[in-house]
Amino acid sequence: MVSRRVRSTVHRLQRQLRAERDEAAVYRALAEARQGEERRVLLALADAEERHAAHFAALLGGEGPARHRPGFQGRVLGWLARHGGGFMVLALMQRAELVRSREREVEGRDAIAADELVHSHVVAGLAQQGRTRAAGLLRATVFGVNDGLVSNTSLVLGLAGAGSSTEIVLLAGLVGLLAGALSMAAGEFVSVRSQRELLQSSEGGLASADRAALRRAGGDQVALVFRAEGMTAERAERAAVALLEDGGGSGEQHPAEGWQYGGLDVVGSDVGAAASSFAAFAVGAAVPVVPFLVTTGGVALGWAVALAGVALLIVGAVIGVLTGGPLLRRAVRQLAIGAAAATATYLLGTLLGVVVG
């Protein structure tokens, strides 16, 4: 008869085998949507996870099934990886690799623990690149949802505290949704457009400078200017040489034109940012309003509070994923901030209702 300890060990090894194979499948799914060096790095990670899986399979006395079907979490992450959510998957995988390395240290599997720790740093680098590429859109989307959620929940609770009818609360919530979303969109459009215009004006300053003065400074010094603005050393040197020798007179695009800081568009589209801000704010602001479309009174208010609380937890967790911070702490912090704002508005609404009424 197999002892309980042996069964526990077998179950643990089977769980670890499935986890390693799931991770390999996720890395391969991520690699499908990548090119160049990033793709090669992800495939190397997948190969390493498969070696770990082979190790655990050998401990179990066999190689396991020829075809592996990922578990629910692996299938969800794989789907996200193939449909535009790659950087979020990387952020989650970073945390998983770090946890896994600590588990392996406890189990005494030093070699695998070292691999997992290295993987966590590799994935962290890839995730940071994803965050940088998506920074503008994510900022507009995630924080737009949060702003709409907190502001309209506070508005709804403030009016409820003042004793307003369901119809007034609903009307005010819908007006607040539209006004806030339009305001967010306009502000984001102006912000991004102004930032892009500022960068464009700074990029053109060097090209219009006096050629003789630049030649006296020398190519190395001119290249420093381009490097300070974010160009790689190689491209900065080419831009300086072209500027000093030709200055763009050949009619070809100058190496200094059309470049982006660090190879990335750090500003993004003004129209895209405005549209995402409008949609994100509207989604967040709709959460506390929806219950008043289907019910009335205290029931609607209770559902509004509950839905807003769940939404705040989700937003906080998403922020944790995007920033690489602890998910639970970010979720609770976001809930606390939203609850404080809504409670304060409810109390002020109650006071105003008494005073005005």
pLDDT attached to residue 136: 55
More confident: 93 or 283: 283
Q: Which two tokens stand for residue 202?
A: 């700074």
On the 0-12 / 13-18 / 19+ scale of CB atoms within 10 A, 274 is buried
Q: Which of 42, 48, 44 is nearest to 20 (CA)?
A: 48
Model confidence at 318: pLDDT above 70: yes
CB 21 within 8 A of CB 50: yes
In percent, how much of the chain has pLDDT > 90?
22
More confident: 25 or 300: 300
Model confidence at 327: pLDDT above 60: yes
Model confidence at 236: pLDDT above 50: yes
Nearest-angstrom CA–CA distance, 181 and 285: 8
pLDDT attached to residue 239: 74
Lowest mean pLDDT among 102-106, 147-151, 238-242: 102-106
Distance of CA 241 to the CA centre of its chain: 39
pLDDT attached to residue 261: 40
Lowest mean pLDDT among 33-37, 76-80, 126-130, 261-265: 261-265
More confident: 203 or 343: 343
Q: What is 64-106 written as a DSSP string? A: --SS----HHHHHHHHHHHTT-HHHHHHHHHHHHHHHHHHHHH
DSSP 251: S
pLDDT attached to residue 188: 82
Model confidence at 224: pLDDT above 80: no
More confident: 227 or 42: 42
Measured between its terminal Cα atoms, the distance across the chain in Å is 79
Give the three-state DSSP class for 50. Answer: helix
